[in-house]
Amino acid sequence: MMRRLGVLTLLIAISLVSSARADEGVYAFDSLTSSVNARALGMGNAFSSIGSDASAPFWNPAGISRVKWISISSTYSDLFGGFREGLVKHSFLAYSQRVEELGGTIGVCWLRVGVEDIPITGEEFIDVNGNGRLGDFQDKNGNGIKDPGEPYIDRPVISGSFDSYDDAVFISYALPLTGSLGAGISLKLLRQRVFENTGSGWGIDVGFRYTPWRSEGRVRGEASVAFVLRDLGTHIRWDTPSRASFSRPLSLTLGISTKLGIGYVSLLAAADYRSDEREIWTGAELTILRALSLRAGLYRGRPTFGAGFRIPIYRSTLSLDYAFTTHEDLGRTQIVAADFELWAR
């Protein structure tokens, strides 16, 4: 116990030093607020007190302290469009393994969010309406100036295209401090590319998960609370001549969840408060026969829905999940995910 408390103290000290050294800047790397898990999105991303597989470091690094031996998580999603036709491509792969010699669990996650074939245009136009003038636009307010929201009538000449992407790697460690309390830390290595420029940086997340009540009787269930500090010292520095540096603000997530089950049916309800969003995200999951799950949630004021199926295999479980949500102007977001957990050697 003393050794574990010593490790936890060291992790917190490193995090506070990192936060103190963060550069001043503006909000950056927005892909760190997206969802990487279909089960989470189906529940409105209220997942900080629930996640306990390889994807958990994205929500709360303490979650992987519950990995029994090996957990693998993979996700693909299309943001803002039909499946494999979305504007933004989103991929996630994670691996966690319990290491008895370290007294806890180590994990590695990789996230990529990218937009492909972004057109490069200049000041040349094609005279679509044939009036002999180039660069005509819909002058909605009649002031003769192209204002935001006023699209071009003439089509700009496309001279090429480029890709833009964000990459994030999470290297995590979590340990059970007691039978009901777990703690974890993640080092995030970040890289962005836009056209010919790249930015790179790093940051730290620290999380705790406490389960004050658990029952395995006729009425089974548990209640959990979570506390997560995100983006301690997270900053990105670009390779531009000015060496511009941008930071993500430190944020706090408070989460709570309760699960109750009787017979072949269980119900899980959860809520997260995010200080960076100043919102409460909520979600619920109904599971039948411990195999089929139906989910619904409220995320950033929008409803989310999902379903999943668990397949038990000798000393392991394979989970297949799907979720979607809609956006007022940009279409829908869909996520498909596969997770595999091996309980023991």
pLDDT tens column, 324-339: 888 666 667 888 999 9
Secondary structure letter of residue 277 according to DSSP: T
Specify the pLDDT at position 10: 40
Closest CA to 51 of 186, 232, 202, 247: 186
Domain 2-119+165-342 has CATH 2.40.160: yes
8 A C-beta contact, residue 106 and residue 57: no
pLDDT band at 246; cut points 50, 70, 90: confident
- What would the pLDDT profile of 129-182 be if each residue is shown by its tens digit? 666 666 666 677 777 777 776 676 656 666 666 678 889 999 999 999 999 999
What percentage of the chain exceeds 70 in pLDDT? 76
- Return the ∠ at Cα 183 (arms to 178 and 189), rounded to 5°: 160
Ordered DSSP codes for 31-99: GGGS---HHHHHTTT--TTT--STTGGGT-GGGGGG--SEEEEEEEEEESSSTTT-SEEEEEEEEEEEE
Q: How far apart are the C-alpha atoms of 51 and 303, rounded to whole Å? A: 20
Q: Which two tokens stand for residue 309?
A: 């199926």
8 A C-beta contact, residue 122 and residue 156: yes
Mean pLDDT of 13-34: 46
Q: How far apart are the C-alpha atoms of 300 and 84, rounded to whole Å? A: 24
8 A C-beta contact, residue 22 and residue 15: no
- What would the pLDDT profile of 273-322 be if each residue is shown by its tens digit? 999 889 999 999 999 998 999 999 999 889 999 999 999 998 899 999 99
Enumerate the domain spans of the chain. Answer: 2-119+165-342
8 A C-beta contact, residue 174 and residue 64: yes
The pTM (predicted TM-score) of the whole model is 0.81
